[in-house]
Amino acid sequence: MKSRGLGDIFNPSSIAFVGASQSTEKAGGRRWKTIVDAGFAGKLFPINASASSVYGHRAYPSLRAVGTEVDLVFLAVPTEYVAQAVEDCASVGARGIVVISGGFSEVDEAGRALEKEIVEKASSFGARVFGPNCAGIFSAPAQYNALGWDVPPGTIGLVSQSGNIALDFAEMAQRSRIGFSRYTTIGNAADINTADLIEYYLSDSATRVILAYVEGFGESEGRAIFEMVLRAPVKKPVIILKPGRSETGRRAAMSHTGSLAGEDRLVEVAFRQAGIVRAYDVEEAWATAAAFATTADPSVPGVVVLTDGGGHATLFCDTAGLAGLPVPPLSEKTTEALSALLPARCALGNPIDFAGVAEGEPEIVPKVLDICLSDPSIGTAAIIGHLGGYHKLGGPKLAPREILAAQEIAKVSQTSGRPVHVHSVHANSSLPAIEVLRSEGIPLHRSIEVSARVIANIVRHAMPARHERPDAVSVSCPADAAAIIRAARNGDEAWLQEPEARRLLSAWGISVPPWEVVETLDQCFSAARKFSGPLAMKLISRSLVHKSDVKGVHLNVSPGEACARYEQMIRQAAELSLMSPRVLITPMIEGRAEVVVGAYRDFQFGPVVMVGIGGVLIEVLKDVAFRMAPLSPDDANGMIAELKGSALFSGVRGRAPIPIRPIADLLCRVSEMIAATPDIAEIDINPVIVSESAALIADARVVLAAPAAHEAADGSSDHVGR
What confidence tens digit (pLDDT) does each residue in 102-161 have? 999 998 999 999 999 999 999 999 999 999 999 999 999 999 999 999 999 999 999 999
pLDDT at 249 over 70: no
Determine the Cα–Cα distance for residues 136 and 74; give it in Å rounded to an integer: 8
- Check residue 717 and give its pLDDT: 31
Q: Would residue 707 be called left, alpha or beta, if left means φ above 0 and alpha means ψ between -120 and 50 degrees? A: alpha
Quick: pLDDT tens for 25-34.
899 999 999 9
Cα 66 to Cα 99, 118, 269, distances in angstroms: 19, 21, 51
Report yes or no: 282 and 304 within 8 Å, Cβ to Cβ.
Answer: no
- Check residue 245 and give its pLDDT: 61
pLDDT at 593 over 90: no
Quick: pLDDT tens for 454-483.
999 999 999 876 555 665 555 678 889 999
- Look up residue 4 and give its DSSP letter: T
- Helices 448-462/282-294 angle, 10° precision: 50
**Long-range contacts made by residues 617-622, C-beta under 8 angstroms, separation at least 24?**
618/256, 618/260, 618/686, 619/256, 619/259, 619/260, 621/645, 622/260
Under 8 Å CB-to-CB from 351, ≥6 apart: which residues? 304, 305, 306, 307, 310, 313, 316, 317, 327, 384
Quickly list DSSP for 542-588: TT-S-GGGGT-EEEEE-GGGHHHHHHHHHHHHHHTT-SS-EEEEEE-
Determine the Cα–Cα distance for residues 34 and 143; give it in Å rounded to an integer: 10
- Check residue 254 and give its pLDDT: 34
- Check residue 385 and give its pLDDT: 95
Quickly list DSSP for 53-102: EETTEE-BSSGGGT-S--SEEEE-S-GGGHHHHHHHHGGGT-SEEEE---
pLDDT-derived band at 708, boundaries 50, 70, 90 = low
Give me the mean pLDDT over the 310-316 stretch: 92
- Check residue 80 and give its pLDDT: 94
> What average pLDDT is seen over the chain?
90
Evaluated on CA atoms 139, 140, 142, 143, the torsion sign reads positive
pLDDT at 712 over 50: no
Domains and CATH numbers, the chain: 1-148 (3.40.50.720), 189-294 (3.40.50.261), 299-462 (3.40.50.261), 469-511+591-722 (3.30.470.20), 514-588 (3.30.1490.20)
Quick: pLDDT tens for 595-644.
999 999 999 999 999 999 876 666 666 789 999 999 999 999 999 999 98
Quick: pLDDT tens for 507-531.
999 999 999 999 999 999 999 999 9
Quick: pLDDT tens for 35-86.
999 999 999 999 999 989 999 999 999 999 999 999 999 999 999 999 999 9
